[in-house]
Amino acid sequence: MHRALPDVRDGLKPVHRRLLHVMRLLRLDPNSAFKKSAKIVGDVMGGYHPHGDQAIYEAMVRLAQDFSSRYPLVDGQGNFGNIDGDGAAAYRYTEARLTEVARLILEDVEESTVDFRPNYDGTLEEPAVLPGAFPNLLANGSSGIAVGMATSIPPHNVAELCDAALHLIKTPGACVDNLTQFVLGSDFPTGGILIDGSEQIVEAYRTGRGGFRIRARWAKEELSRGGWQIVVTEIPYMVQKSRLIERIAELLNDKKLTLLGDVRDESAEDIRVVLEPKTRNIEPELLMEQLFRQTDLESRIALNMNVLDKGVVPRVRSLREVLVAFIDHRGEVLERRSQHRLEKIATRLEVLD
Q: What is the CB neighbour count within 10 angstroms for residue 114?
A: 21
Residue in 102, 18, 31, 95 with CA at minimum distance from that of residue 61: 95
205 is catalytic: no
Give the chain as a 3 state SS string.
CCCCCCECCCCCCHHHHHHHHHHHHCCCCCCCCCEEHHHHHHHHHHHCCCCCHHHHHHHHHHHHCCCCCCCCCEEEECCCCCCCCCCCCCCCCCEEEECHHHHHHHCCCCCCCCCEEECCCCCCEEECCCCCCCCHHHHHCEEEECCCCEEEECCCCHHHHHHHHHHHHHCCCCCHHHHCCCCCCCCCCCCCEECCCHHHHHHHHHHCEEEEEEECEEEEEECHHHCEEEEEEECCCCCCHHHHHHHHHHHHHCCCCCCEEEEEECCCCCCCEEEEECCCCCCHHHHHHHHHHHCCCEEEEEEECEEEECCCEEEECCHHHHHHHHHHHHHHHHHHHHHHHHHHHHHHHHHHC
Question: What is the rounded CA–CA span in Å between residue 3 and residue 17?
Answer: 11
Q: Considering 71, 91, 93, 205, which one is annotated as catalytic?
A: 93
Q: What is the CB neighbour count within 10 angstroms for residue 312?
A: 9
End-to-end CA distance of the chain: 52
The set of catalytic residues is 93
